[in-house]
Amino acid sequence: MTTKLVGVAAASGLSAGTAVLVKGVDVSHAGRKIEKAEVDAEIARFEGAVEAASRDLEQIQKDMAAKVGEAEAEIFGAQAMMVRDPQLAETVQENIRTELVSAERAVLLAAEAQAKIFESMEDEYFAARAADMRDVGTRLVKCLLGVSDSGLPRNLEEGSIIVARDLAPSDTAAMDIHKVSAMVLDKGGKTSHVAILARSLGIPAVVGLNDATTHIQAGDTLLVDGDAGEVTVNPTDDVYNAFKVRLEAQARKKRQLSLLRELPSVTKDGRKVELAANIGGEDEVQMVIDAGAEGVGLFRTEFMFIQVDQMLTEEEQFQIYKKVLSGLAPRPVVIRTLDAGSDKELPYLNMPKEENPFLGLRAIRLCLQEKEKIFRPHLRALLRASVYGKLRIMFPMIASLQELREAKAELEKAKAELLAEGIPVSEDLQVGIMVEVPSAAVCADQLAAECDFFSIGTNDLVQYTMACDRGNAAISYLSDFFYPGVLRLIARTIEEGHKKGIWVGMCGEMAGSPAAIPLLLGMGIDELSMATGSVPQAKAIIRNLDMAKAKEVWERVKDMTSNTEIRAYLEGVAEELVRDIGK
Ligand code: PEP
Ligand code: MG
């Protein structure tokens, strides 16, 4: 049956593909009735799952023994034995044959029956074995369904559509993300990190769907519309064919936009706006060049720290920054110092749990607290790499002038240290801050006097100005950069920055929004940094615009009082500007 689900449009684009459920192993529903002819195949599937599960458990046992100790690891050794238990195999095979159910159902029935026997023994030891038995059953079912222990899919097929409750940055890091053609999530908002990742990879995403994982089964055909925030499950032929026509138009538009690659990003009347890309790792350098971006306006360094299981050394960091800077030279590259903490946890730092992580020890706060362990090697690596390209260092989450001064003092110390060691540092180095905490926007005049540039981070600026958790779908109506309160802070930041003679850019998601671009130009923005995939469209808009129109847009928006009115007006303006692309 066809179902249409509506959520938050998190990453634009269309995609048709097959659902891969992550953590969708609903133990109570897994499995199905089978025909007699399928019995042998189901038994073979079960045997394969036993092999895979015992291999996994033995590996976990080894890893745990090394990390935690032999005694703690032994539980997994015991579970490996339970998985291979001939008695369990016999019961499962019996269930497949007589109940005519698939291997998943047969395993669950067998594990539950055995767990009940353990429980009836009324002994603490056996009660624990009952829990182990259910665990083993779940693990076998996960193997049968092709999802790994953590719920992440193994052996992703090209064109898979990931359907999950939520995905942490570490989950996406562990996934073969290039095979994913769309993401569909129960949780999350427009600026949750998984949404950002999807945009930077050009993968359509719909988030905040609440219960997509209960409506969608693994293997369902999905049509994902990342612009409307809609997911169609098992479409009729007519719906599928209509969607295919739109997919073709999307491909045509992409081809047309790619022709702008070598052209400069200037308005019709000659105002230059630097168009840059946001990246999360060294492997995205070629994508930046291919998109026709003029540099990187935000390198989110935290992603490289999330992908490893211990702190990166100065040397390891240096190699990565050097590769990015030299790969993009002479283009400028803004590297943001580590923005870890909040939802971007680094497990190896063993940070205490916080009541309000988004208001807690994250970004520059963490670096200033852990100067020796984190900040010093980080800054030294950046400075050492500075001679290989055009580096701009950016401090995130600056809330006060004191923080900026303290961060700059650390940078100066690191520089002096390196020079004393005879290691060169670039003379042409800019130091700036993200304006993403409302106090920084309010005090933009003071901060601008002591740095070289501002980059406005609208994802956090909206979150903190509107007091709205950026990942909470229940209040996503507040997560909008078109609220007048947010626009006033942005305009103020640009104006105060210019008064002090520094350039002001934007690297939050607003920068890549077609509706926002004319408005931002009207406010006087100097640089826009966005998901690589959004660069060609932004260039088309800028090249179709003139500054008189942009200023008029800002003047009109100034008088508007609601975000929906502003959005509707600006979407109309943007539509005019891109009307002929893809026709
Ligand atoms: C922002 O807050 O707008 C930003 C660019 O930083 P991040 O999304 O990484 O927090
Ligand atoms: Mg931020």
Last residue of a domain, one of 235, 259, 285: 235
Residue 143 bears catalytic tag: no
Q: Which ligand is closest to the CA of 343, given by its number?
A: 1
Q: What is the pLDDT of residue 345?
A: 83
Is 470 near ligand 1, meaning CB less than 6 Å away?
no
Domain range for residue 131? 36-145
- Same domain assignment for residues 390 and 516: yes
Q: Which two tokens stand for residue 565?
A: 């009115």
- Same domain assignment for residues 517 and 546: yes
- Please tell me the pTM assigned to this model: 0.73
* CATH number of domain containing 351: 3.20.20.60
Q: Which ligand is closest to the CA of 278, given by its number?
A: 1
The answer to whether 151 and 23 have CB atoms below 8 angstroms apart is yes
Is 539 near ligand 1, meaning CB less than 6 Å away?
no
The whole-chain average pLDDT of the chain stands at 91
Residues shown for the chain: 583
Q: 3-state SS of 385-451?
A: HHHHCEEEEEECCCCCHHHHHHHHHHHHHHHHHHHHCCCCCCCCCEEEEEECCHHHHHCHHHHHCCC
Residue 209 in any domain: the answer is yes
Instruction: Compute the distance between CA of residue 265 and CA of residue 474 in angstroms, rounded to an integer.
Output: 38
Q: What is the pLDDT of residue 66?
A: 67
- Catalytic residue among 193, 367, 378, 451, which? 193
496 backbone dihedrals φ, ψ, rounded to 5°: -70, -35
Instruction: Compute the distance between CA of residue 45 and CA of residue 198 in angstroms, rounded to an integer.
Output: 34
Instruction: Compute the distance between CA of residue 494 and CA of residue 524 in angstroms, rounded to an integer.
Output: 7
Last residue of a domain, one of 235, 257, 289: 235
- Same domain assignment for residues 44 and 17: no
Q: Which residues of the chain have pLDDT under 70?
A: 23-29, 63-64, 66-69, 71-73, 147-152, 154, 169-171, 173-174, 582-583
* CATH number of domain containing 207: 3.50.30.10
Environment of ion ligand 2 (residues, CB < 5 A)? 436, 457, 460
Residue 380 in any domain: the answer is yes
Helices 124-145 + 103-120 axis angle, to 10: 170
Nearest atom (ligand 1) to Cα of 436: 2
Q: What is the pLDDT of residue 179?
A: 86
Residue the block writes with tokens 């033995």: 58
- Same domain assignment for residues 385 and 514: yes
Sign of the dihedral defined by the CA atoms of residues 520, 522, 528, 530, in that order: positive
Total domain count, the chain:
3
Residue 507 bears catalytic tag: yes
Is 457 near ligand 1, meaning CB less than 6 Å away?
yes
Q: Which two tokens stand for residue 215?
A: 């409506």
Nearest atom (ligand 1) to Cα of 456: 3
- Same domain assignment for residues 344 and 275: yes
Strand partners, 86: none
Q: What is the pLDDT of residue 24?
A: 47
Burial class (CB in 10 A: 0-12, 13-18, 19+), 89: middle
Is 300 near ligand 1, meaning CB less than 6 Å away?
yes
Last residue of a domain, one of 184, 214, 235: 235
Nearest CA to ligand 1 atom 7: 459
Q: How many Å lie between the centroid of ligand 1 and the Cα of residue 463?
A: 10
Nearest atom (ligand 1) to Cα of 396: 6
Is 42 near ligand 1, meaning CB less than 6 Å away?
no
Q: Which two tokens stand for residue 181?
A: 């053609």
- Same domain assignment for residues 133 and 164: no
Instruction: Compute the distance between CA of residue 408 and CA of residue 392 in angstroms, rounded to an integer.
Output: 13
- Same domain assignment for residues 396 and 503: yes
Is 463 near ligand 1, meaning CB less than 6 Å away?
no
